[in-house]
Amino acid sequence: MNATYEPLCVVADRRALVLVLAQKADAVEQTNRVARSEHRAEPLPSVVRLIRYVRVPRRAAVPLTRRAVFARDGGRCVYCDLPATSLDHVVPRSRGGLHVWENVVSACRRCNHIKADRIISDLGWRMRHVPFQPIGPAWRILGSGRADPAWAPYLVDHAGGGAGHAAGRAVLEHLALPA
Ligand SMILES: [Zn+2]
Residue 38 belongs to what domain range? 1-57
Read off the DSSP letter of residue 145.
T
Indicate whether 6 and 38 sit together in one domain.
Answer: yes
Distance 78 CA to ligand 1 centre (A): 7
* 3-class DSSP assignment, residue 106: strand
- Final residue of a domain: which of 29, 57, 85? 57
pLDDT digits (tens, 9 = 90+) for 44-75: 999 999 999 988 777 667 889 898 898 888 88
Are 79 and 156 in the same domain? yes
Asked if residue 153 and residue 73 are part of one domain, the reply reads yes
Distance 145 CA to ligand 1 centre (A): 21
Task: Compute, in angstroms, the gap from residue 171 CA to the centroid of ligand 1.
Answer: 20
Report in angstroms the alpha-carbon separations of 158 from 31, 99, 103, 138.
Answer: 22, 25, 23, 5
Based on the fold, state whether residues 15 and 101 are members of the same structural domain.
no
Instruction: Report the chain's mean pLDDT, rounded to a whole number.
Output: 86
Same domain, 93 and 156: yes
Q: Which residue has the higher pLDDT, 146 or 27?
A: 27
Using a pLDDT cut of 90, give the percent of the chain over it: 49
Cα 150 to ligand 1 centre (Å): 29
Q: Alpha-carbon distance 59 to 16, whole Å? A: 23
Total-model pTM? 0.73
Of 72 and 91, which is predicted with more confidence? Answer: 91
- What confidence tens digit (pLDDT) does each residue in 131-175 have? 988 887 888 787 777 778 888 888 887 876 544 456 666 666 666
Ligand 1 mean position, distance from CA 116 (Å): 12
Q: Total domain count for the chain?
A: 2
On whether both 128 and 85 belong to a single domain, the answer is yes
For residues 14-42, give the mean pLDDT: 92
Neighbours of 47 (CB within 10 A): 21
Is residue 118 scored above 70 in pLDDT? yes
